[in-house]
Amino acid sequence: MKKKIEKPLIVQSDRTILLEVENPLYEEARDALSAFAELVKSPEHFHTYRITPISLWNSASAGYTATQIIDLLHKYSRYDIPSNIIYEITETVRRYGRLKLYKSPQQELILESDDTMLLSELLYNKAMQEFGPVRLDSRRVKVNTQFRGHLKSVLVKLGFPAEDLAGYVEGAPLHFDLRKKLSSGKPFVLRNYQMDAISAFYAGGSNRGGSGVIVLPCGAGKTIVGIGVMHKLQTHTLVLTTNTVALRQWKAELLEKTTLIEDQIGEYSGELKEIKPVTLATYQILTHRKTKDSPFLHFRLFEDGAWGLIIYDEVHLLPAPVFRATADLQARRRLGLTATLVREDGREDEVFSLIGPKKCDIPWKVLEKQGWIAEAVCTEVRVPMIEEDRYKYVVASKSAKFQIASKNPIKISICKQILEHHKEDNVLIIGQYLDQLKIIQRNFGAPIITGQTPNRKREELYQKFREGEIKLLIVSKVANFAIDLPDANVAIQVSGTFGSRQEEAQRLGRILRPKQSGKQAHFYTIVTRDTLDQDYALNRQLFLTEQGYQYKIISMEQLDEFLDNIT
């Protein structure tokens, strides 16, 4: 008789869910959970997920009903689902859309609800009164249009997110086409999942589309999705990026893949101040001001162009001042692009209310199986601390402890072992601390890119790496974001930013573009054993585990045998 498979989930009354890793239904259940729950921790045998209001509202905005979510839990849950969880899911999902924002024929902003008592309760709330609401009847309230974003943000915090159907200004028209062939002669065709992401954002041109976040792995073509949305809307567009190198990569992609010409694309950075039909700006220039209390000099950029679309590249890094400015930009379509919605400052609710809900989120392992991103092996090498540093570590402050552990000199000898086994590969050594990276540079004689490296020099070194002239490149955290190095297939992380999950996502993403050779990608993290370095590495692993990666942990003594088995 065929043995019955035990279901992999244990749903608990505190909104947490345990997922058994060794269960045959693990992957299936993990993919189902990703639609409405967030990964909290991932030790070896059971991963812990949590259901939150934002995770449920994102799910509701994507079309999931409470019944569908509960059915998925029933399908994979080993035991009965606690009744309070069923109630909370039903109530939380029901809250999404109970309030609707729309424009009246007179172009007034109206907040409407069929729940008249809810509307009355909200009107008595002090935070709501700041928007000067005017009651029109039992179901409708008029609000000043300029408060559209601020109102949405407050309503999310009060637990009643409004469905924004107020529409958008069209922006100045910009007509262009996507190219059918690239300069290399290869055909240029949007992939199916990219077209699905564009369609999910556009929503047929209705007021239910036009704002939201697309979550795609690094290397899966987030920039191309942004270009596809631009093509769909045919309007003047402002693109906000993390740095000047990323900005110029956007420009290169636009020129390569569309019929836009150079004169139609402007750069707004520390070096140039151009405003054109497509304007590419950096977060850094937008948040620049002379003193801490001075106004932001370049926020006028938001109003100086007739923008019909604003694209926020790496939206998980959006600075707080740009959030505040975005609250006033609700009449313009807004697209957020990211590899992970995790924010280390916990402001996912601001992304949800001011940029928009998650419109598309494709698991990394799904795209890996389809061959769109490289298969990756993630390995943590744990090393001891030398006796001299161990004493310094014991008496140091918490922040100093992390630095001492991160800069462990034994990590350099581990880099050497890994590099000897990857001589034919294209390798990035990535770290947080410049003095550590400079020591590594002296040991291996490889070029280094830091925040102090001029943009022209960075681009020159990146190009040499792409062409194979350079096989090893040492990079600081400036290379975490939006750097296109398609042939990189090995990354060695020697230090990071505490327990940053989004940084781990970005660093892994540097090596995930599919390789012509079909080679596996290898992501090594070197961690000092029994220290804060190891503790923070556990948190960074959450992202990798959430995406379905196996994270193998080995000791320094096991490294040679491990390398022999993979090369």
Report yes or no: 361 and 215 within 8 Å, Cβ to Cβ. Answer: yes
Residue 504: what residue type?
A: E
Residue 251: what residue type?
A: K
Residue 179 within a domain: no
Q: What pLDDT shows up at residue 3?
A: 60
Percent of the chain surpassing pLDDT 90:
46
What is the rounded distance in angstroms from the CA atom of residue 528 to the CA atom of residue 385? 6
pLDDT above 80: residue 368: no
Q: Which DSSP symbol is given to 290?
A: S
Report yes or no: 115 and 104 within 8 Å, Cβ to Cβ. Answer: no
Counting the structural domains of the chain, the total is 4
CB under 8 Å to 86, separation ≥6 — which residues? 70
85 and 123 share one domain: no
Please give the torsion angle defined by the CA atoms of residues 246, 247, 253 and 254, in that order, rounded to the nearest 10 degrees.
160
What is the rounded distance in angstroms from the CA atom of residue 299 to the CA atom of residue 329? 12
Read off the pLDDT band of 184 (50, 70, 90): confident
Residue 170 within a domain: no
431 and 514 share one domain: yes
Domain extent, residue 262, equals: 192-361
341 and 378 share one domain: no
374 and 403 share one domain: yes
What is the rounded distance in angstroms from the CA atom of residue 564 to the CA atom of residue 558? 10
Residue 176 within a domain: no
Cα separations (Å) of 514 from 280, 311, 481, 517?
A: 27, 25, 18, 9
pLDDT above 60: residue 482: no
Nearest in space to 216 (alpha carbons), one of 205, 225, 208, 207:
225
What is the rounded distance in angstroms from the CA atom of residue 384 to the CA atom of residue 311? 45
**350 vs 499: which has the higher pLDDT:** 350
What pLDDT, in 10s, does the model give residues 78-113?
999 999 999 999 999 999 989 999 999 988 999 999
Q: What pLDDT shows up at residue 522?
A: 87
Q: CATH number for the domain including 211?
A: 3.40.50.300
pLDDT above 70: residue 471: yes
* Chain mean pLDDT for the chain: 87
Euclidean distance between the first and the last CA atom of the chain, given in angstroms as a whole number: 43
Alpha helices in 278-345 (DSSP H): 283-286, 301-304, 320-326
pLDDT above 60: residue 564: yes
62 and 115 share one domain: no
Please say which residue of 80, 95, 110 terminates a domain. 95
What is the rounded distance in angstroms from the CA atom of residue 320 to the CA atom of residue 127? 20
Q: Locate 225 and state its tokens.
A: 């999705």
Read off the pLDDT band of 343 (50, 70, 90): low
226 and 298 share one domain: yes
Report yes or no: 470 and 446 within 8 Å, Cβ to Cβ. Answer: yes
Cα separations (Å) of 141 from 95, 117, 138?
A: 18, 13, 8
What pLDDT, in 10s, does the model give residues 375-429?
778 888 999 998 889 889 999 898 899 899 999 999 999 999 999 999 888 898 9
Report yes or no: 296 and 322 within 8 Å, Cβ to Cβ. Answer: no
Average pLDDT over residues 267-275: 89
546 and 403 share one domain: yes
Read off the pLDDT band of 463 (50, 70, 90): confident
385 and 332 share one domain: no
pLDDT above 80: residue 247: yes
Residue 184 within a domain: no
Residue 171 within a domain: no
Residue 183 within a domain: no
Q: What pLDDT shows up at residue 94?
A: 93
511 and 383 share one domain: yes
Report yes or no: 337 and 201 within 8 Å, Cβ to Cβ. Answer: no
Q: Locate 350 and state its tokens.
A: 């601001």
217 and 233 share one domain: yes
**338 vs 345: which has the higher pLDDT:** 338
Q: What pLDDT shows up at residue 440?
A: 94
pLDDT above 80: residue 250: yes
pLDDT above 70: residue 176: yes
Q: What pLDDT shows up at residue 495?
A: 87
Read off the pLDDT band of 502 (50, 70, 90): low
pLDDT above 70: residue 240: yes
Instruction: Specify the pTM.
Output: 0.80
Nearest in space to 72 (alpha carbons), one of 41, 100, 34:
34
Q: What pLDDT shows up at residue 351?
A: 87
What is the rounded distance in angstroms from the CA atom of residue 450 to the CA atom of residue 478? 6
Please say which residue of 63, 95, 127 terminates a domain. 95
Q: What pLDDT shows up at residue 543?
A: 67
Read off the pLDDT band of 297 (50, 70, 90): confident
Residue 312 within a domain: yes
Q: With residue 229 as reference, give the H or E element that holds it.
A: helix 222-233
- HEC per residue, 330-358: CCCEEEEEECCCCCCCCCHHHHHHHHCCE
Please say which residue of 112, 146, 164 terminates a domain. 164
Q: What pLDDT shows up at residue 55?
A: 92
Residue 274: what residue type?
A: E
Q: Locate 564 and state its tokens.
A: 């022999």
419 and 456 share one domain: yes
Overall size of the chain counted in residues = 567
Report yes or no: 369 and 210 within 8 Å, Cβ to Cβ. Answer: no
387 and 248 share one domain: no
Nearest in space to 51 (alpha carbons), one of 68, 73, 29, 67:
73
Residue 177 within a domain: no
What is the rounded distance in angstroms from the CA atom of residue 421 to the CA atom of residue 419? 5
Q: What pLDDT shows up at residue 19?
A: 92
Cα separations (Å) of 81 from 11, 16, 396, 462?
A: 6, 11, 47, 52
What pLDDT, in 10s, does the model give residues 438-450?
999 999 999 998 8
